[in-house]
Every structure is written in structure tokens, then in C-alpha cells.
């Protein structure tokens, strides 16, 4: 299962990179929630993501491939979302997108062998997600499929799960189990939440984006879980 994490993460990075080259920016296509707007940065990011994805998936030069991906993601967090958060810390949008990027960066750094820092950078965004689930629970509940009862309950439950997983990873207690369950939770969202939404609106780039972000987060969680099987 944990090797699937590498594959899920690589697929998401490859899709994001391909989008940066071929995506129609007037009508959003599948892509990350942080598409660069300047042409040189677009191509540099795309090349790094695609090359990194190939290296990770093929298990060739994985350390360097993952390090490049992590560096590109971290730079985007620092120089794009950092100023936005400083200028307007109450805007939830940059917190969400920036945290998604930071978590993906953490997973990439773990693959690059920078394990403890990568775990931390993956865990901290989970706290942000958890807090947001409590702060905006009624809005989050609208994303739960109507056929699932107790939609508001699940918004709170997932928020608590995010925080619990973050704490487990940071204190290294039951971390392997917590990260594995987190990966399964994200994967279940891909299957029961995002795929139906993509099928219902195949031309909506935001739905594609959300699906691949969830897939990347699932892969990242499995990558984190794998490290607790070989180190403490």
C-alpha cells in the first residue's frame, strides 16, 4: 500500500506539470491551486514537476527528483502565499492553498530523505485544515455527498481527525497508523466525493484540481506512514 503513495503523489505532480504547459488559463483545466502567472516560472515549474514525477514513479534518482519538487513547492509557499497571509491573515483562501502546497512539499522532502523536516511540514498544514473544518463547518458540510447522513457531524469529525493525525505525526506516537488512516481518508474522498463531482462537471477545472490535490495528499500520507516503519 505504501508504494502506492509514491505512485499517487507522482501522478498528481505529473498532472499539475502537464497542466501548466497545456492548460487553458482562461478556462481552468486540471491543475494545482497555485498556478504561476509568469511564463518563465510556468515552464520551470512544469519541467520540475514532470521530471520529478517521472523520477519518483520510476524510482530513479528519487532523492534528487523529490528534492527539486519540494524546493519548487516551498518557494511558491514563501514568495506567493507568504505575503498574502501577512497582508490579510483572516482570508481562508491562502491558508488553504498554501497549506496544501506545504503539505505536498513535506511529502516530497520525506522522499528526498529529509525525513523529520518533511514530516513536520506535512503535519502542520493538517492543523490548519482541522481548524478550518471547525471554523467553517457548515460550509464544509456542503461538500459531503447528500446521500451520507449527518453531514455536519462529518465536517467536525474530519476536522478532529486532521488535528489528531498532525499531533500523532509530530510526537511520533501511533504515527504510522494515523498517517495510514489519513491516506485512506483522502483516498476515499477521491473515490466517493471527487470522482462523482468531476463526472458531473468534467469541464470544471476546480473539480479536477480538488481531485488531484486529494490524490496527492493521500499519496503524501502513505509516504509519511512508510517512514515510521523504518525510523522512529
Residue 78, in any domain of the structure: yes
Whose cell is 515510521? That residue is 228
Per-residue pLDDT reduced to its tens digit, 186-206: 999 999 999 999 999 887 778
What would the pLDDT profile of 62-115 be if each residue is shown by its tens digit?
899 999 999 999 988 888 888 889 899 999 888 998 999 999 999 999 999 999
What is the number of structural domains in the chain?
A: 1
Rounded to two decimals, the pTM is 0.89
Domain that holds residue 173: 2-227
Does 41 or 5 have the greater pLDDT score? 5
Q: Is 199 domain-assigned?
A: yes
Q: Is residue 95 part of a domain?
A: yes
Inter-residue contact 121 to 109 (CB < 8 Å): yes
Instruction: Give the integer Cα–Cα distance in Å for 184 and 8.
Output: 12
**169 assigned to some structural domain:** yes
Cα separation, 11 vs 216, in Å, equals 8
Domain assignment of residue 164, yes or no = yes
CA 111, CA 171: separation in Å to the nearest integer? 20
Is 232 part of a structural domain of the chain? no
Residue 23 is predicted with a pLDDT of: 62
Amino acid at each position: 500500500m505504501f508504494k502506492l503513495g509514491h505512485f499517487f503523489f507522482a501522478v498528481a505532480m505529473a498532472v499539475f506539470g502537464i497542466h501548466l504547459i497545456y492548460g487553458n488559463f482562461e478556462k481552468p483545466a486540471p491543475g494545482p491551486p497555485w498556478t504561476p502567472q509568469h511564463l518563465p516560472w510556468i515552464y520551470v515549474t512544469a519541467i520540475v514537476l514532470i521530471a520529478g514525477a517521472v523520477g519518483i514513479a520510476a524510482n530513479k534518482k528519487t532523492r534528487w527528483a523529490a528534492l527539486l519538487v519540494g524546493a519548487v513547492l516551498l518557494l511558491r509557499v514563501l514568495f506567493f502565499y507568504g505575503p498574502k497571509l501577512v497582508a490579510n491573515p483572516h482570508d481562508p483562501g491562502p491558508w488553504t492553498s498554501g497549506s496544501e502546497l506545504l503539505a505536498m512539499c513535506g511529502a516530497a522532502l520525506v522522499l528526498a530523505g529529509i525525513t523529520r523536516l518533511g514530516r513536520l511540514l506535512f503535519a502542520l498544514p493538517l492543523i490548519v485544515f482541522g481548524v478550518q473544518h471547525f471554523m467553517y463547518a457548515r460550509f464544509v458540510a456542503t461538500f459531503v455527498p447528500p446521500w451520507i447522513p449527518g453531514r455536519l457531524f462529518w465536517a467536525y469529525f474530519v476536522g478532529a481527525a486532521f488535528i489528531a493525525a498532525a499531533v500523532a505525526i509530530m510526537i511520533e506516537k501511533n504515527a504510522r497508523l494515523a498517517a495510514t488512516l489519513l491516506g485512506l481518508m483522502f483516498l476515499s474522498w477521491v473515490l466517493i466525493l471527487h470522482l462523482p463531482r468531476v463526472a458531473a462537471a468534467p469541464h470544471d477545472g476546480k473539480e479536477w484540481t480538488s481531485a488531484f490535490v486529494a490524490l496527492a495528499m493521500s499519496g503524501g500520507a502513505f509516504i509519511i506512514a512508510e517512514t515510521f516503519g523504518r525510523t522512529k
